[in-house]
Structure formats: C-alpha cells, structure tokens
Structure 1
Amino acid sequence: MAGNSQRRGAIRKAGTKKGPTVGSGGQRRRGLEGRGATPPAHMRPNHPAAKRAKAQARRPAKRKDDDFETVLGRNPVLECLRAGVPATALYVALGAQADERLSESVTLAADSGIAILEVPRTDLDRIATNGLHQGIALQVPPYNYVHPDELLAAASRTPPALLVALDNISDPRNLGAIVRSVAAFGGHGVLIPQRRSASVTAVAWRTSAGAAARIPIARATNLTRTLKDWADHGVQLIGLDADGDTVVDDLDATGPVVIVVGSEGKGLSRLVRQSCDAVVSIPMCGVGESLNASVAAGVVLADVARQRRG
C-alpha cells in the first residue's frame, strides 16, 4: 500500500543517498574558505596572455648580429669599403650583373678579410625596401659617433672650421643627404641631437653614398648647450631658417662657422634660434616655394665653399 515503509521497494539501500547522511564531514567549511588572490593573466593556462607568453618563450633568442646595419646599393657599399668601414659581411645576389663597382667591392672585401656570401636575390629583397639593393649589400656594425668636443677639436686643426648642426631633422634621408653635401663642400663634421632626431641607419648610409664613413658625426645630449660651448670657443653660429632675419647673400663664412639647419616644417627650435649669432634664409624667385632641408643645407654649403675659394 502507498506509504508503507515496510514494503521492499520503499526501503532505501545503504550508500545510495546523495551526500553525507550524518553531518557535513567538513565539506561545507572547505567550500567557504577563500581561494586566495587571482593569479596574473600570464599564469592562467587558458588566458590569451598566457598563450602569448608561452609562444614568446618558444621563440629563439635575439642574435647579436640583429643590431647590425645593412648598407644597400653599389655606390654606398663601394664607398664604405673604400673608406675602410669595419664591415663583417658582403652579400652578393646570385646572378647579379657585374660591373666595375661590383668587381671592386668584391676585391676590396676580399683584401680586407670580409666574408663574401653569395645569396639568392630573394634574401636581399626581404632586407631592402622595394628591392633597391642592386644585387649587393654590406653588413656593418652600429655607427660609432664621436664626442662633440672631439669633433670641434678635429675641425680646428684645419681652420677655418665648417660644421653643420641639425635641429628637428627626423628623416634619415635628409641626414644622409646633408652628410654627403658636407663631404662634397669641404665640411668637417655633423652634429645631431641624441633624442628626437634621425640617426645613422641603413637608409642614411645609402643616401649619403658612403660619405658617412668619411665625415665624423657627433651626438649631443643637449644641442643648445653644446652650441653655446662651441660659441665660447670662437665659432660663429649661423642658423638656416625660412623666416631668417637676413639672406644667405649677406653671409660672411670666411671664419669658423657652424651652419644650424632646421626642419622644413618646424624650423629652428626657440632656444637654438636664440643661440645663433644670425639666422639667414635662401631667397626664392618663385612665390610660395620652399626647399627641402637637405637641399637648403647644400645650397648654403656651396656658397660657403665659393667664399672660401675666393
């Protein structure tokens, strides 16, 4: 009959009841205990940060030669080898068309004990932008900058000194082109700020056509203070800016001078401009026309060289 606990089917067998039959056995206490602080994201097995950390650990360590620069192009490579740049390897593409520059580069590298490696053209394509390597590349260590005091001392040995300082120049192609102009017109060196400025990279090497191997480049921790120190040593500071107080035709550069070049957009910074003895501009025939910073520097350097020849 219904509700009769004496029936065989109504008796609960031992061990079939869910959970403990008497007391909680401490399970409730353990359930109420805190689990501690949440582990960081990279320590949670299924978290994306943990997966990224695991993938990073599997990657090979960065090689020391990753810090090296690669000079591309036949003229830049040849100029570097002629100047005795401490290169470590010369890469020549398989099937590259030989000419005088390529042959001389291979000969100079062999005479200097530089490793010569013949590689597929695709390897150089991965290094270069738009394949502008002309079938040859040179691996060089990071550029060895000189101290500003050493640069001024070296320029003073062959007076009158002609130096170029760059302010707000962030494009390495402008830096390379200016270095090339300095070498072409008898300059002694280039000064750049240590921060917020273009440095000597592979792009600058290529644009300078190897002139960076012959022209010393110094880095200043504080450009304004370095220029003032140079001025105390009797060097005239000539700023080059589109809003100059006078024109380059009135410039007297027969003595020791430093041409301070500002960028095309920002021009000279306020403190650097105040440190200059004069600020000149290049007169333009066309209304509203302006020159690239490297072109403007080349024009002024050519005029300085003309004055000194006279």
Structure 2
Amino acid sequence: MSPKDRFLTVYGRKPVLEALVDPGLTVDKVVLADTARGPAVAEIQRAARAAGVPVRRASAHRVKVLAGNGKQDQGVLADVVAPRMRPLAAALSAARPPARVLVLDGITTPANVGMILRTATAAGVPGVVVPRRGVAALDPLVVKASAGVAFRTPVLRCGTALEAAERLVAAGYALFGLGAAEGTSVFTAELPRRAAFVLGGESVGVGPEVRELVAGWLTIPMPGEVESLNVSAAAAVLCFELVRRGG
C-alpha cells in the first residue's frame, strides 16, 4: 500500500504542531529540513517527543518534494494517519464493499474538496473517491476546509477518476453523473443499492472520458433564477437525499 493511501501529509509549522497536540490524531512521523531552526521548530520537536513521534531530518529540497508545496512547507511536514483511508481496489474487494460512493472528477479547488469530505462524512457516505491526479491534493488547505474531518473521512484512493469509474462499473456499480442540465431529479430518481455518483469539476463538470461510462444523470431542481450550484453545495444536497432515503 502506498503511503499516499495511508496518510494525509500536512506541512507548515502551525499545522504540524496542531496535529501533534491533537489527542484525536495519530502522527506517524515528522520530517524537518536540515535548515529548519528557531523557537517554532524547537516547539515541534518537544511536542513530537511528548507524543512519541519520530522526527527525521532531510534536505530542504527533499521536504519540498515530499510536501508538494515548496512555497508554504516552512521546512516541516508530518504524515498523519488517516484510519479510514484505503485504496479503492481494497474497498471493492472487501467482504462488504461500500454501497454508495462519491467520485470526485476534476475538482481542483481545495475548499470544495474539503467541504465535500466534511459533508459526506456527516451524511455517513461510506466512500469518497479522491483520485491522486486531476483533483486538489489532500493538503492542509483541504484539511482546513473540512474543519479537520478529512482525517476521518472514508477516502478511497486511485490514480484517476477514469480509473475509478472503470473499476466501479466492473464491480457492478451503476454510475450516475450529477449535472445541471438534462437528467432525472435527484429526489425522484430510482437508485440501485450499489451506486456511484460522479461530481464534476468547477468549470467543465464531469470529464468526457468518465462521461462515456455514466449510466444516468441526476439533476437538482432549481425553480429559482440560478443555473447551477457550487459543486460542494450540490454534493450536500445529494448526500442528504441519500440520508433521507435511508442510505
């Protein structure tokens, strides 16, 4: 299993310190740049010792590569255990695969990804597919937008949204796209017990490759003079309609 399927990496001195002192989180390790010094770094080291978390030194370049954000890492990162995160393939091969799954496709705004993770967790959705490519990285901006819930979300990892769609269809899931144009109302559509719902990007919606695999389209009725909802707002409507239906 890739580390990216086990941990959420946070970077920056304040986010790392907050993760270390949060009793509800388990930090696997802290990595400090060999150039990182000062009172804030010393405080991180003390917190790590108190929590029994190993601290490793690496070159500043290596920290930038691991964090994936050379402008904001501040020479420190931490791998935080996400106990409910696992590969999509593992979830589908489990004895009880998730019945309902959200698939993020091309959603690049961290705030939207974070709010979707928070909403889905609140609604009890058993799986949210967050591809490693084509979607905002699971970084501190996403964690902040989720108000920390991202650490506990049942995130399912795979390479791309297309890979996820293909795996889900092959596993017997009906694939639905959430769109603003033609389709059946999300409130009246017949939904099979095993279904996946694709949430498209902010500008282009569901990508053309994934669109080819979509079996049906769902819309949110909007009698007011608004063409569409923000993707995180649309996700909230969908998630709680599933709650209304009993999952």
Partner letter of residue 157 of structure 1? R
Residue equivalent to 1:29: none
Partner of residue 164 from structure 1, selected from 85, 91, 102: 102
CA distance in 2, matches of 1:71, 1:168: 29
Greater Rg, structure 1 or structure 2?
1
- CA deviation vs aligned residue, 1:168-191 (integer Å, no higher than 9, x gap): 101111111111111111112221
Partner letter of residue 240 of structure 1? L
Partner letter of residue 308 of structure 1? G
- CA deviation vs aligned residue, 1:233-282 (integer Å, no higher than 9, x gap): 22221211112421111233461221110123211112212211211111
TM-superposed deviation, 1:85: 4.3
Residue equivalent to 1:25: none
Partner letter of residue 260 of structure 1? V
- Rate the CA distance shift 1:202–1:71 in 2: closer, same or farther, 3 A: farther
Residue 84, structure 1, aligned to residue 26, structure 2: yes
Secondary structure of 1:184's partner?
Answer: helix
CA distance in 2, matches of 1:166, 1:239: 11
TM normalised by structure 2 equals 0.68
Partner of residue 89 from structure 2, selected from 149, 165, 172: 149
Work out the percentage of aligned pairs sharing the same amino acid.
28
Residue equivalent to 1:217: 155
- Rate the CA distance shift 1:203–1:256 in 2: closer, same or farther, 3 A: same
Q: How many residues align?
A: 206
Conservation of the 8 A alpha-carbon contact between 2:108 and 2:202: no
CA distance in 2, matches of 1:177, 1:79: 24
Higher normalized strand content (fraction of residues): 2
Residue 257, structure 1, aligned to residue 224, structure 2: no
Residue equivalent to 1:268: 206
Aligned CA RMSD, in angstroms, stands at: 3.6
Conservation of the 8 A alpha-carbon contact between 1:81 and 1:109: no
Structure 1's unaligned 5+ residue stretches are: 1-66, 95-107, 116-125, 129-137
Partner of residue 11 from structure 2, selected from 69, 72, 94: 69
Residue 277, structure 1, aligned to residue 219, structure 2: no
Secondary structure of 1:239's partner?
Answer: strand
Conservation of the 8 A alpha-carbon contact between 1:162 and 1:187: yes
Partner of residue 52 from structure 2, selected from 106, 109, 113: 113
- Rate the CA distance shift 1:254–1:308 in 2: closer, same or farther, 3 A: farther
- 1:226-245 alignment, distance < 5 Å: 226-245=164-183
Structure number with the bigger relative contact order (C-alpha 8 A, sep ≥ 6) is 2
Residue equivalent to 2:35: none
- CA deviation vs aligned residue, 1:53-95 (integer Å, no higher than 9, x gap): xxxxxxxxxxxxxx8524867xx85996414343649xxx99x
Partner letter of residue 141 of structure 2? V
- 1:1-310 alignment, distance < 5 Å: 69-70=11-12, 77=19, 81-86=23-28, 88=30, 112-114=51-53, 140-141=78-79, 146-154=86-94, 157=96, 161-253=99-191, 255-308=193-246
